[in-house]
């Protein structure tokens, strides 16, 4: 799964990287947690658009928005079959921007938080799905991160991992004209694996209220 990540980036660099007309508005985050806003990118058929969405998918048909607490991740292997995700795989795909994510490795001393980064990129995107929920005067735009079985590197830490889009496949994931859910699932599962690196951080990150540089400080330095 993917339950925490970081987003330490420069707005101008984000705008250039994702061909945005203006730098997006966001806060530096060292410990992004479910139910919080995350910076995402969609394609509207003409151009990329950046905006914040709440992390934790609330499908448009949900009676209660609390369902979002259980839907921070979607399994890529079955996303083309599940009612909550199939329609989104066809027409509501997004990039969820990050520069690292956390996972907790089981050790003899307990669960050790690890910060995981892409080796050759400071900024990357998770493959995400999004939806819009409305009830009376309330409206929410929410998202979820696709996950898959861990590769050899991640398997030493956890058996699942988020789907990280290689840079040259990001536009394909956003492509407004690709609308077959099964094809998009196969696309995600066939992506080449990014080279990752990881290091241990303190349990300071365990508390989602902690959102400072101490969260990403290596214990091995």
Tell me the catalytic residues: 2, 103
Angle 208-209-212 from CA coordinates, rounded to 5°: 95
Is-contact 145 126, C-beta < 8 A? yes
b/e string for 114-136 if b means 16 or more Cβ within 10 A? bbbbbeeeebbbbbbbbbebeee
Dist CA 175 CA 179 (whole Å): 9
3 state SS for the chain: CCCCEEECCCHHHHHHHCCCCCCCCCCCEEEECCCCEEEEEEECCCCEEEEEEEECCCCCCCCCHHHHHHCCEEEHHHCCCCCCCHHHHHHCEEEEEECEEEEEEEECCEEEEEEEEECCCCCEEEEEEEEEEEECCEEEEEEEEEEEECCHHHHCCCCEEECECCHHHHHHHHCCCCCCHHHHHHHHHCCCCCCEEEEEECHHHHCCCCCCHHHHCECCC
């Amino acid at each position: 799964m993917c339950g925490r990540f970081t987003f330490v980036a420069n707005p101008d660099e984000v705008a250039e990287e994702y061909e945005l007309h203006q730098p997006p508005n966001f806060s530096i985050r060292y410990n992004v947690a479910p139910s919080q806003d995350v910076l995402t990118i969609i394609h509207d058929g003409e151009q990329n658009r950046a905006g914040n969405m709440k992390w934790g998918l609330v499908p448009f048909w949900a009676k209660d928005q609390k369902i979002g607490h259980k839907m921070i991740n979607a399994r890529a292997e079955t996303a083309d079959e599940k009612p909550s995700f199939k329609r989104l795989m066809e027409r509501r795909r997004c990039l969820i921007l990050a520069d690292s994510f956390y996972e907790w490795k089981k050790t003899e001393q307990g669960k050790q938080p690890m910060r995981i980064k892409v080796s050759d990129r400071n900024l990357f995107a998770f493959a995400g799905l999004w939806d819009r929920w409305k009830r009376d005067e309330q409206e929410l735009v929410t998202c979820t991160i696709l996950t898959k079985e861990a590769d050899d590197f991640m398997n030493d830490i956890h058996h699942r991992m988020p789907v990280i889009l290689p840079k040259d496949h990001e536009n394909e994931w956003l492509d407004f004209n690709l609308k077959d859910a099964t094809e998009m699932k196969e696309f995600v599962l066939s992506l080449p694996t990014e080279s990752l690196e990881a290091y241990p951080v303190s349990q300071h990150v365990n508390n989602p209220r902690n959102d400072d540089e101490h969260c990403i400080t290596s214990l091995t330095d």
